[in-house]
């Protein structure tokens, strides 16, 4: 996998946090994330795709018009570091976060650790 491919996939993954229909979010996540994904955030922890979907669904419900934008992305040896910004609907910045993650040999995200 190249940095460009994984970065494009991560930008697509970030769209799951926006206002999507549940089935569309599930379809998007199942194409990008492994079934046994682990996600560790300061305020939440999920194990498995279903728990991650539930977390993202709750996030999107609380901030229906917010969206994430990728600021920087580094990738090597199946691991990445992303710097992202959460924006309000009007484009103003709400928060900045960093995510460390791992990617399987098949190109699926398998591990996330978020810092914000």
Tell me 67's DSSP state. Answer: E
Query: How far apart are alpha carbons 103 and 111 in whole angstroms?
Result: 7
Rg (CA), the chain: 13
CA nearest neighbour of 106 among 81, 80, 78, 82: 78
Residue 1 pLDDT: 85
How is residue 98 written in tokens? Answer: 């960093």
Residue pair 1/107 in contact by the 8 Å Cβ criterion: yes
pLDDT block averages, 10 residues each, the chain of length 116: 96 95 95 98 95 95 93 98 96 95 97 96
CB–CB of 104/110 below 8 Å?
Answer: yes
Kindly state the tokens that stand for 58. Answer: 């709750």
Q: Could you read off the pLDDT of 84-105 as tens digits, one per residue?
A: 999 999 999 999 999 999 999 9
What is the pTM for the complete model shown?
A: 0.94
Query: Crossing angle for the helix pair 49-62 and 22-32, nearest 10 degrees?
Result: 130
In the chain, the domains with their CATH numbers are 3-115 (3.10.450.50)
């Amino acid at each position: 996998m190249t940095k460009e491919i994984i970065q494009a996939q991560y930008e697509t993954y970030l769209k799951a946090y926006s206002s999507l229909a549940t089935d569309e979010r599930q379809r998007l996540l199942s194409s990008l994330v492994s079934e046994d994904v682990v996600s560790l955030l300061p305020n939440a922890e999920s194990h498995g795709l279903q728990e991650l979907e539930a977390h993202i669904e709750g996030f999107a419900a609380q901030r229906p018009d917010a969206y994430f934008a990728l600021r920087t992305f580094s990738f090597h040896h199946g691991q990445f570091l992303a710097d992202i910004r959460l924006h309000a609907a009007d484009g103003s910045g709400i928060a900045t976060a960093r995510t460390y993650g791992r990617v399987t040999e098949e190109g699926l995200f398998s591990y996330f650790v978020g810092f914000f």
